[in-house]
Structure 1
Amino acid sequence: MSRAAARLLARAAAAPAPAPAPPASARAIASAANDATFSFGKAQAQFYDDVLVDGVFKPWTESVFATSRPVTGDAVLDVACGTGVVARECAALVGESGKVTAIDNSPGMLARAKANPASRGIEYLEFDACAPTLPRRAFDRAYCQQGLQFMADPTAAMKAVLSSLKRGGHFTCAVWAPANSSENQIIYHLGEALRDVGREDWVDVAVKPMSWSNTDSRGVSKLEDCLIEAGFINPDVACEDGTFAFDDLTQAVDIAKVGPYGEELASDDALWREFSENFRARLKMYVQEDGRVVVPARSFIGHGVAPWN
């Protein structure tokens, strides 16, 4: 167990696991936390780009790169690439002598990624990360930013990634800490706003992005255990604090359109009006003097190395 895990175990209290929500056939991405599933469609991919890229995923990519940064000439794999945030940052670092391959199982996300002019030269593939068919020993580094918690078997995905890495290659991943009133607060308040408008049945699925674990200590240990079971050497997990930042309250509230039930919320005018008023009131405490909304957040960042033999 890493030093980070030991520290967190000492201070974190155990919490009961959330009750599983029933699967819905229209929602195609399985969660590692329970059986509830959902998909990222075209509309959600657009909201993802408009709401989350600049204030969330770009800044957190720097935290991932602080653990393992691509260098000129690297061949890089981006797993669960979404709209290509990490892939584009990698491409800028590896240069023309390097190569970036990005995979995701969402056509909507991939279409959005390919349409970005900065994606020129990146190979985007619709691909199941858990399928053991990635090219063997082809990559110097691999990344998975906030994708593992949506996979039915994250360890299987890590094994597939490991087989694709060259000897001594690096894998770095990140998953959000639990949604609660002291850590990843915006998703906590999103869930509470859903309860307040009578959509208790949506809450378990709505907090999926933060469903890797129920406590910090469990999340760190689980991520480290997955790295070990997958076969990585020198595994380690760190707990990183940062923020979710938005231009204003309207943009912050729109985070609800990105995740599970986002399309249902946005398409029901009366429900969206009631929900957004509630959610907006909850987020007012995070408004800065310049009108931006900055909410504390926490992520677990894991790293492992492919064996040399």
Structure 2
Amino acid sequence: MSFQLSGNAPEIYENIMVPLWFGRWAEALLTFVSLKAGETVLDVACGTGVTTRIAKRDVGSDGRVIGLDINGGMLAKARELAADMDITWIESDVIETGLSEQSVNAVISQHGYHYFPDQPAALAEFNRVLVPSGRIAMSIWDGHSAYTKAICSAVEKFISPEIARKQRSQRETPSAERLIASFSEAGFRNVAVVRQKLLIKVPLAAKFVPLHLGSMPIASSFHKLPDEKKEELIADVADALRGNIVGDQLVYLDVVNVVTGIK
């Protein structure tokens, strides 16, 4: 499983999904690592770099921040957005960062861990690059929200079960117990999981659904639908979420697990 975007999807992702979703989760994640001026931070699966940029703000001019992602299109957008910031960008798999041993004070990742093809190897690499007593903090979806359930159901009806499985897989994540066990087995101490909740507010389905699906790996499948099928898919989501309408927005609760540990 991987999260690969192409075409203009990275730009839609940054302009739409980051302000409504991922920027808020990024700020929430960084409360768990308490970054200090002058520290070195590795942001894994950094995408378009929202968490990376906030981390750079926190460590200041004397600190070093590295954003790592396997998706070249996402990194291109990240570089563009942070052109005036001293951030190192690495296009690489998570198990081969190329960083020196014990060179990083903190490793962070927002919604990336469950996409790693070899999670034990990735955790071993993060442990290797962390300094003694270095911190790790990763946010991972805690299952589906009301909105993502509605989206996946509509995709199954109007695109295909196969594409729906691909979309659902983004929220098929390890349990809190499994996360604690995996990070502990990788040699991290004081491993804990905290459940974070945010009340999410997005535009109504007619506006938001095309933008959301246009920023996802399944974007091409959505765009290939005839216009009438797109409208039916959107109407299906709107109907499923009619109880979540507040004014001109969809409002729903979303939840992540944040796993933390110390080397």
TM over 0.5: yes
Match of 1:280 among 218, 238, 260: 238
1:235 aligns with 2:180: no
C-alpha separation between the residues in 2 aligned to 1:251 and 1:245?
13
SS of alignment partner, residue 130 of structure 1: coil
1:127 aligns with 2:92: yes
1:116 aligns with 2:73: no
Long gaps (5+) in structure 2: none
Q: 2:165 matched to which residue of 1?
A: 204
Q: 2:51 matched to which residue of 1?
A: 86
SS of alignment partner, residue 90 of structure 2: strand
**Contact 2:27–2:54 at 8 Å: present in 1 too?**
no
Long gaps (5+) in structure 1: 1-30, 32-36, 214-218
Query: How big is each residue's C-alpha offset from its partner over 1:144-188, in whole Å with a ceiling of 9 and x where there is no partner?
Result: 110011111222111111111111110000110112xxxx22111
TM-score by length of 2: 0.92
- Greater per-residue strand proportion: 2
Per-residue deviation, 1:220? 0.2
4+ residue segments displaced more than 6 Å: none
**Contact 1:240–1:301 at 8 Å: present in 2 too?**
yes
Structural mapping, 1:30-49, within 5 Å: 31=1, 39-49=4-14
Q: 1:244 matched to which residue of 2?
A: 200
C-alpha separation between the residues in 1 aligned to 2:84 and 2:186?
30
Q: Cα distance 1:56–1:225, how it changes in 2: closer, same or farther (>3 A)?
A: same
Q: Cα distance 1:262–1:223, how it changes in 2: closer, same or farther (>3 A)?
A: same
SS of alignment partner, residue 245 of structure 1: strand
The number of equivalent residue pairs is 261
Q: Cα distance 1:243–1:118, how it changes in 2: closer, same or farther (>3 A)?
A: farther
Identity %: 21
**Contact 1:175–1:300 at 8 Å: present in 2 too?**
yes
AA of the residue aligned to 1:169? G
**Contact 2:192–2:260 at 8 Å: present in 1 too?**
yes
Per-residue deviation, 1:263? 1.9
Q: CA RMSD in A?
A: 1.9
Per-residue deviation, 1:117? 4.1
SS of alignment partner, residue 69 of structure 1: coil
C-alpha separation between the residues in 2 aligned to 1:119 and 1:248?
35
Q: Cα distance 1:210–1:192, how it changes in 2: closer, same or farther (>3 A)?
A: same
TM-score by length of 1: 0.79
C-alpha separation between the residues in 2 aligned to 1:170 and 1:80?
17
Match of 1:173 among 119, 138, 141: 138
**Contact 1:88–1:118 at 8 Å: present in 2 too?**
no
C-alpha separation between the residues in 2 aligned to 1:142 and 1:185?
30
